[in-house]
Chain A
Amino acid sequence: MGRYILRRLMMVPLLLLGVTTVTFIIVHLAPGSPLDDLRVTVPGITDEDLDRIARSLGLNEPIWRQYVNWISDVARGDLGLSLQNARPVRDQILERLPNTLLLTGLSMGIALLIAIPVGVIAAVRRNSLFDQIATIVSAIGAAVPSFWIGLLLILMFSVQASRWGWYAMPSSGMRPVTGDVTLWDRVQYLILPVTALAIGQVADTMRFVRAQMLEVLRLDYIRTARSKGMRERQVIVRHAFRNALLPLVTLIGLSLPQLIAGAAIVETIFSWPGLGQLTVSAANRHDYTMIMGTTIFIGLVTLLSTLLTDLVYAVIDPRITYK
């Protein structure tokens, strides 16, 4: 087991090297440069100034050279400074991380709390009215993108509500910008973005749980349990659900990176100061170091959470061992 973990960990730097190389090339090949805006924002800026700024940022060097410079800084633990706001990339990632975790963690938690019971009940009462409604609603929920739901929520509960003089939800942001912030304030700002994110997750997870349950309920040991005269509740909870839960661990484990990467678009439309918004804005402004910083961070979290999922599997499923 120890050797297995070690082997997996040794793969991490290699994989990150691959991911960052590809990303680095893509972001540098995209048209435009971090200095494009200066022509507009500073009327009369001279070529001399632009050259000097490009040189001070190292942008005048060939791409391979820039990559080597960047990756050797990273190897020393330095993610560099943002090309746009000159603040350390690492600080900015860390300052956004809790905001993103709050938003995505809460929506994932709520999604699981709703989706698991609904999925189990829908499977147990297959083809009932409850099952049919749940299936249809979840199909819609899975099909509609979360940002669209988000825009709809803002339009309904914030913009229209305030136009009609009703109680209006905050349309965007994370907390009030003035005065003392109470817990209720925080909750108000969370309701719309969490709902927008959770709807899709509820739909996906519920369908997954339902499918898993249906599969398990067909198996012989369930029939055996029932034939031995066990109570139905015990059959469902202890025998069926616990086994159906196993693949759910994979699903949750693999969505851990999503917790970190955030919901880029939902964060953007709700002006939520998280990692996703940071990444989108960096991409829009050709902030190469920031894009690379978030890429490597999210890449690392992805690799580690896959490893974690595999290990948890070994713990909860005695059929699996690693050598």
Chain B
Amino acid sequence: MTNPTSGRSAIALDRRQFLARMGVGTAAIGLSGYLGQAAAQDAVTPSGTLIEGGPLEFDALAPIVESNRAVLYMFDPLTFTTPDGLQPQPNLAESWTWDETDNSYTFVLAEGAAFHDGTPVTAEDAKFTFDLLTNEATASPYYAIFAPRIAGSEVIDPQTFKLTLTGPIASFLNDMTGYSIGILPKHLLQDMDPASIVSSEFATTAPVGSGPYKLKEYRPGEALILEANVDYHRGVPPVQEVVIRLLGDSTIAYQQLITGEVDVAAISADFYEDAQNQSNFTPVIIDTFGLQFIGYNLDPATGAAPLQELAVRQAIAFGIDRDLIVERIYSGLGLVAPGTLGPATGCHAPDQITTVYTYDPDKSAALLDEAGWAPGDDGIRVKDGVRLSFELLGSATKKTDEGLILAIAEFLAEVGIEVVPRFEHESIWDYLLPKDFQAAAVSFTFAPDPDQSLAFLSTSGYNAWSYNNPEVDALLQEGIVTSDPDARTAVYVQSQNLILADLPVDVLFFDQRVTGVNNRVSGYVPSAVGYYWAIQYDAINWTVTE
């Protein structure tokens, strides 16, 4: 490599594995429950060991350069977000205020919060962390997400930290925890060249954070062993040791769930049915921030001509039996529901979505008849000499894409639409962004906030569909600056109805994952937020019985 010191740990966690590998338990507890619990636990002596199935390797163990479950155990962000409703809650910051006049947050840091080496966490550390994040030289994959939003930061006093944004951004606190921007210890890193932090011992093998767990031993390829931070400012975690076994493979993880060698692990859809018959662990379904849809290339220059017609896209939407697809191809793991915002997001309001497509092949055929597409000799419809045919792109490396695309092809053949399957080995985005596609099966993961500008704003870098509806743009921008949950929901109900009427993408279902949890574990909170924050949210509530 030209510059070995700046070698960036390119791949962060495998998010899909990571997403599926999260906290689980009974029902989500409210904030009051969490606070009460924390206070009650001061007298607890941690005991027992919880073993998680993890990825084959952790690319880094420090925030800013990486976000994974290990980072979440060891590093606390300023706030965390509740699993239900995505509401920011105090973490390292015990309180904060928002100043509209200069778009700034002022955080008051919790008394008694300290890094694992005993040094107190101060506003200096917070400023240092955000300076690193917004320094281009730090090889952070989150730089371009955060740098344009942060105008500056300031240490008011050792316990008070002010962060000025470039405008009102309702999703900011969620994003901060969503990308697990944990606070880094300035005293250990200040003399380091920002570019070399990613390959430093601190980031690769010897992290020091302020989270509920600290690193005891890292055995690459084997396990990451964490022990309870008994000085944790929010209470003593009841579980003495958390071990993340580095397994990677879903089959190994599953067999270890059966043998009890791991207590918590993601279960791949293949094993979901079998998992329901197991006695020593419980499969728990978790709604995620992922969305499976068909994305259309609406750029007339590069897209398929028939797909530019709204009637054709509507016919497709009515022509696909989503429930059957979820049941047969995804082992039932997927939620078919109206809208583009799933149940995991804060502004989920399926009852208010008025544009809904339910499977109705007759209606689908009627729409095509009406639009002038008449069945040709081979059953495929034709209009003005153009066959109603399009290419549907999928990933050759994703097992479910094959089933999905063939199923869609079969459903649409029924109503006289020809789907030509196309599979590519490269990342699907290598084809979507240069608009080298007509339609594609896309699994889109949003950050944990109801803002979906990433997919639907006309100027978004991910708007591969060339979607452009000024009304939707205006609503999405309004949503970003609206912090009142009800008002925000109302804005997003409007934008969803417009998007669904325009059909730049055809939502198939909301992704669900399943995690197996040994019956000896209790207090885990199952939630999409848990992918990122269950640890901060409830690490001080889990217990294990021997």
Contact = CB atoms under 8 A, between A and B. Distances in A.
Contacts of A83: 7-10
Nearest to A96: B221
A273 B245 CA distance: 11
B58 interface: yes
B12 interface: yes
Given A40-B15, A162-B260, A177 B7 contact: no
Contact of B56 (A40, A178, A281): A281
A285 B462 contact: no
Contact of A39 (B205, B222, B241, B429): B429
Contacts of B141: 38, 42, 45, 49, 53
B461 interface: yes
A270 to B, nearest CB: 8
Given A31-B424, A45-B144, 6 more contacts: A39-B429, A46-B461, A52-B143, A53-B141, A58-B2, A170-B259
Interface in B248-269: 248-249, 252, 255-256, 258-261
B121 interface: no
Nearest to A61: B2
Helix, strand, loop or mixed for chain B's interface? loop
A178 B246 CA distance: 14
Interface in A139-180: 154-155, 158-159, 162-163, 168, 170-175, 177-178
Contacts of B140: 49
B203 interface: yes
Q: Name, among B4, B195, B462, the residue most crowded by chain A CB atoms within 10 Å (CB to CB).
A: B4
Nearest to B425: A31
Interface residues of B, number: 74
Contacts of B59: 84-86
A173 B222 contact: yes
Interface in A30-68: 31-49, 52-53, 56-58, 61
A31 B424 CA distance: 9
B14 A37 contact: yes
Given A177-B223, A278-B221, A43 B199 contact: no
Q: Name, among B179, B261, B425, the residue most crowded by chain A CB atoms within 10 Å (CB to CB).
A: B261
B144 A168 contact: no
Interface string B445-460: 1110000001000000
20 contacts: A32-B426, A35-B11, A37-B15, A41-B12, A41-B13, A41-B67, A42-B141, A43-B445, A46-B461, A57-B6, A82-B9, A83-B9, A86-B203, A87-B220, A99-B221, A155-B255, A170-B259, A171-B256, A173-B223, A289-B1
Nearest to B245: A177
A281 B426 contact: no
B429 A73 contact: no
Contact of A58 (B3, B60, B220, B259): B3
B426 A81 contact: no
Contact of A85 (B204, B223, B427): B204
Interface of A: 31-49, 52-53, 56-58, 61, 69-70, 73, 78, 80-87, 92, 95-96, 99, 154-155, 158-159, 162-163, 168, 170-175, 177-178, 268-269, 271, 273-274, 277-278, 281, 285, 289
B7 A174 contact: no
Contacts of A84: 9-11, 57, 59
Nearest to A277: B221
Contacts of A170: 259, 261
Contacts of B12: 37-38, 41-42
A171 B258 CA distance: 10
Contact of A56 (B6, B58, B220, B225): B6
A86 B249 CA distance: 22
Contacts of B223: 173, 177
Q: Name, among A41, A70, A289, the residue most crowded by chain B CB atoms within 10 Å (CB to CB).
A: A41
Given A56-B6, A159-B255, A174 B222 contact: yes
A99 to B, nearest CB: 8
B514 interface: no
Contact of B10 (A35, A44, A274): A35
